[in-house]
Amino acid sequence: MTNTDAGRTSGTTQEPSLNRVMGPGLLLLFVVGDILGTGIYALTGKVANEVGGAVWVPFLVAFLIALVTGFSYLELVTKYPHAAGAALYTHKAFGIQFLTFMVAFTVMSSGITSAATASRAFAANFAEAFELSLSAGIGITLIALAFMVVVAAINLRGVSESVKLNVLLTCVELTGLLIVIGVGLWALGFGNGDFGRVTEFETGDRSALGGVIVATTLAFFAMVGFEDSVNMAEECKEPSRIFPKVLLSGLIITGTIYVLVSITAVALVPADQLGAGDTPLLKVVEAGAPGFPTHIFAFITMFAVANSALINMLMASRLLYGMARQGVLPRQLGRVHQGRRTPYIAIAFTTVLALGLIAFVGEVPELGGTTALLLLAVFTVVNVAVLVLRRDPVPHKHFRTPTVLPIIGALACGFMVTPWTDRNPQQYTIAGVLLAIGVGLWVLNHFAIRGQHAETAAEESQTPDA
């Protein structure tokens, strides 16, 4: 019996499998919907604060880093088309239980911090859309908490329902960004705005390069999401065949939209004004089309960030499910609801963590920066894992990335994790607390797994030979 098989069987009870409902179209919308959303809607102004009018440059750099790493993910997901993503690849490459657990926990934490960021952004836009007078603290927090409970209910309902909702929300958020681009081009066509701003660097005491590096640490949050799709591999049809074209198409589509949106935004709204407040793209629409009903755009933004929360919570729960099925986490996390075919224990666990983050950490920039920090560390490991796993052949055909790309990816992602990027220290603090929790959970998990193995051995010893 393989490790995977062992993880899928509890005594004599066979757990149901996940539903394979995602074809190329749904997978593409999943990738696009996950990358678009909270980052570009919430952080465009913050990036402008760091780099000035050349706000598109950090988004372009973040896209290139994501693209290089995306090639590494393509080789691994087509080689090992199972749930758990980066944690599974780490497990196969290095075989170190502690490292596998920490990668799994880090990816899960990145998804939950991203979902918490999206939840708070949803609450802020909800208040604006309905013209509610809420305190910036408790009112927004309560809406965000309620929203996360709704996301958990949708997740529990089933992957088919979740993916269908993702299609709808992706179309909404894509519409919002196309409105920004369309309004901008319309206004610029009539001589409004200033394209000269897009080449201006305003980085304060930093050099232009230093400003771009700092801004990229924020902008990278807008590019994360492509890696979530590999955790859905067991719910995709023919994952080894469809992933290469779909993932690369998704990255190119979103990267192009981000560059166009950021150029349009700064051409219509000066960088200092763009960076003031939490709704930068709404300012762009107001500047380019003063008569446009801005409440509609607030609704679009609200649903866009809702999609980010839904997809990240889907990813986090499937990650725990996948690692439980591999025998790395307690098998209880791999339980699947008989009727809904969803990993209900994993969904409940990740929801509780998300609710805690929403309640106790409020700043979108630091949660977003922390998400990017955690994922860049994981991407470094994944790029190395590609090279290590070249010595592990598989019987089926799979994508193979040029060797130079994982090397470039590992160096670029590793550098972006370091303090040399002048990252806000609070991001390291939040990440450190999360990882410390992870170490504590690993200790508990270690004893739980040992007890689980002892229980299985006892059951097998009591089973009479056929």
Q: Tell me the three-class secondary structure of 48-65, residue by residue.
A: HHHHCCCCHHHHHHHHHH
* pLDDT on residue 2: 39
**For residue 395, what pLDDT is reported?**
92
Q: Phi first, then psi: give them for residue 236, nearest 5 degrees.
A: -105, 150
> Does residue 9 sit within a domain?
no
Residue 7 domain-assigned (yes or no): no
Does residue 218 fall inside a structural domain? yes
Q: What is the C-alpha separation between 39 and 59, in angstroms, rounded? A: 10
pTM as predicted:
0.81
Inside any domain, residue 423: yes
Identity of the amino acid at 262:
S
Q: What per-residue confidence (pLDDT) applies to 58? A: 94
CB 81: neighbour CB atoms within 10 A? Answer: 19
Residue range(s) defining the domain that contains residue 69: 24-457
Q: Which DSSP string corresponds to 258-320?
A: HHHHHHHHHHHS-HHHHTSSS-HHHHHHHHH-TTS-HHHHHHHHHHHHHHHHHHHHHHHHHHH
Consecutive H or E run containing 13: strand 13-14
Question: Has residue 12 been placed in a domain?
Answer: no
Residues 6+ apart with CB under 8 A from 436: none
Q: Do the Cβ atoms of 232 and 82 come closer than 8 Å?
A: no
Report in angstroms the alpha-carbon separations of 121 from 51, 66, 109, 309, 363. Answer: 23, 24, 18, 10, 10
Token pair for residue 201?
A: 């660097």
Residue 339 in any domain: the answer is: yes
pLDDT for 371 equals 78
First-last CA distance in the chain: 17
Query: Under DSSP, is residue 324 helix (H, G, I), strand (E, B) or coil?
Result: helix
Confidence (pLDDT) at 364: 47
Q: Which residues of the chain have pLDDT under 70?
A: 1-15, 17, 37-39, 42, 133-137, 278, 361-368, 452-466
pLDDT at 5: 40
Q: Looking at the domain assignment, is residue 10 inside a domain?
A: no
Burial per residue of 147-156, b for 16 or more beta-carbon CB atoms within 10 angstroms, e otherwise: bbeebbebbb
Is-contact 284 264, C-beta < 8 A?
A: yes
- CATH code, domain carrying 342: 1.20.1740.10
Q: How far is CA 412 from the centre of its chain?
A: 19
User: Residues with Cβ < 8 Å from 462, sequence gap 6 or more?
Assistant: none
From the list 8, 26, 16, the residue with the least C-alpha distance to 341 is 16
| pLDDT score at 410 | 97
The pLDDT value recorded for residue 305 is 78
- pLDDT score recorded for residue 249: 95
For residue 246 the two structure tokens come to 């779909």
Number of domains in the chain: 1
For residue 15, being part of any structural domain is answered with: no
Measured from the Cβ of residue 343, the count of other Cβ atoms closer than 10 Å reads 29
